């Protein structure tokens, strides 16, 4: 019987149909000898091995019909890209830009934890966030509505092109609430404030704690975010905590010709 490592076969070629026939019928054509097909051999070497030790005609061409369990290239689903409703903004005042992003962790049972963090780019505050097993677009919208009731709507919501952010539900909701700014695919540095926040959350909280339940994770992460907002001093804010800076910040936002501008 011919042996082949089918997990690494990529392209359907004329050769593989003959190899498939030899595998299925167990006809090697030379007694007890079993030719060995190495997974990184090219077609000429494999073809020569079959010609030498099987009944495969040297000059005959055969084609793979697409069956037999051999792995062939699959068309990858094209990733969607969100349509921004405003150019990349500069957060020169509170509530101008909210940056949002997701990250993941697991609890001790191996169950996934999905963490949503929302950061005001000007004050550096973590103004909201969710810790749940799964966060859908509708759940994300509900959380944004809760934050808007407390703080008012932001001028712009900045995010990557994750499926929750570019969903029709979010775009429909944002059409009457705020502008959307999607960063270019594969360029997370365009969302640097929330990426920096996520890195600190990962290093200082997620990597040093073991969560035995989702509720435990919600409490621990919530406590860390409270400490970040009230006790963590930022050099970019004049070495004061984000909450203290937000209370003393005098920068304001104004409207000019139906476009949002900041002073």
pLDDT in tens, 182-233: 999 888 989 999 999 999 999 999 999 999 999 999 999 999 999 999 999 9
Structural Rg of the chain based on CA atoms: 29
Cβ atoms of 23 and 37 closer than 8 Å? no
Give helix then strand counts, H and E, for the chain.
7, 7
Per-residue model confidence (pLDDT) at position 90? 86
Tokens linked to 149: 């009731």
The Cα–Cα gap between 100 and 211 comes to: 23
CB-based contact 254:248 (threshold 8 Å): no
Report the pLDDT value the prediction gives residue 68, as an integer from 0 to 100: 42
Token pair listed for 248: 């003393």
Burial class for 240, CB neighbours closer than 10 Å (0-12, 13-18, 19+): middle
Alpha carbon 170 to chain centroid distance? 17
pLDDT of residue 212: 93
Residue identified by tokens 């997701």 is: 102
Tokens (6 digits) for 222 = 């919530």
The two three-digit tokens of residue 28, written as one number: 């090697």
Q: Which pair of tokens denotes residue 167?
A: 């969903």
Element (H, E) at 100: strand 97-106
Q: Are 148 and 124 in contact (CB under 8 A)?
A: no
Per-residue pLDDT, 59: 65
For position 23, what pLDDT does the model report?
44
DSSP alpha helix (H) spans, the chain:
14-25, 43-53, 137-151, 168-174, 192-204, 214-230, 242-248
Angle at alpha carbon of residue 242, lines to 151 and 228, rounded to 5°: 105
If pLDDT is split at 50, 70 and 90, which confidence band does 89 have? confident
Ranges 55-59, 98-102, 133-137, 150-154: which has the least confidence: 55-59
CB 81, CB 141: distance < 8 Å: no
Residue 10 has pLDDT above 60, yes or no: no
Question: What would the two tokens of residue 104 be?
Answer: 């993941």
Model confidence at 84: pLDDT above 50: yes
∠ Cα 5 76 10 (to 5°): 20
Residues, the chain: 263
110 dihedral zone (left: phi>0; alpha: psi -120 to 50; beta):
left
Residue from 259, 28, 237, 37 nearest 125 by CA: 237
- The pTM (predicted TM-score) of the whole model is 0.68
Would you say residue 33 has pLDDT above 60?
no
Out of 22-26, 166-170, 257-261, least confident range: 257-261
> Token pair of 165, please?
């952010």
Residue bearing the bigger pLDDT, 9 or 106:
106
- The model's confidence at residue 236, banded by pLDDT at 50, 70 and 90, is confident
Tell me, what's the pLDDT at 249? Answer: 85
């Amino acid at each position: 019987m011919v042996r082949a490592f089918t997990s690494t076969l990529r392209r359907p070629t004329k050769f593989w149909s003959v190899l498939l026939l030899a595998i299925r019928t167990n006809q090697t054509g030379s007694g007890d000898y079993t030719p060995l097909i190495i997974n990184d051999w090219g077609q000429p070497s494999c073809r020569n091995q079959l010609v030498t030790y099987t009944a495969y005609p040297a000059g005959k061409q055969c084609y793979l019909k697409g069956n037999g369990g051999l792995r062939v290239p699959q068309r990858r689903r094209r990733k969607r890209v969100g349509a921004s409703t405003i150019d990349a903004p500069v957060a020169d005042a509170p509530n101008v830009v909210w940056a949002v992003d997701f990250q993941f962790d697991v609890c001790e049972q191996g169950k996934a934890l999905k963490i949503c963090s929302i950061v005001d780019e000007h004050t550096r505050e973590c103004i909201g966030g969710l810790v749940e097993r799964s966060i859908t677009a509708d759940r994300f919208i509900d959380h944004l509505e809760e934050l808007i009731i407390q703080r008012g709507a932001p001028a712009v919501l900045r995010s990557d092109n994750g499926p929750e952010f570019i969903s029709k539900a979010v775009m429909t909701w944002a059409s009457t609430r705020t502008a959307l700014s999607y960063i270019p695919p594969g360029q997370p540095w365009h969302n640097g404030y929330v990426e920096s926040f996520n890195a600190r959350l990962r290093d200082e909280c997620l990597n040093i704690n073991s969560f035995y339940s989702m509720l435990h994770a919600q409490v621990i992460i919530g406590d860390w975010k409270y400490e970040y907002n009230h006790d963590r001093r930022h050099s970019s804010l004049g070495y004061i905590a984000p909450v203290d800076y937000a209370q003393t910040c005098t920068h304001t936002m104004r409207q000019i010709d139906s476009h949002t501008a900041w002073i």
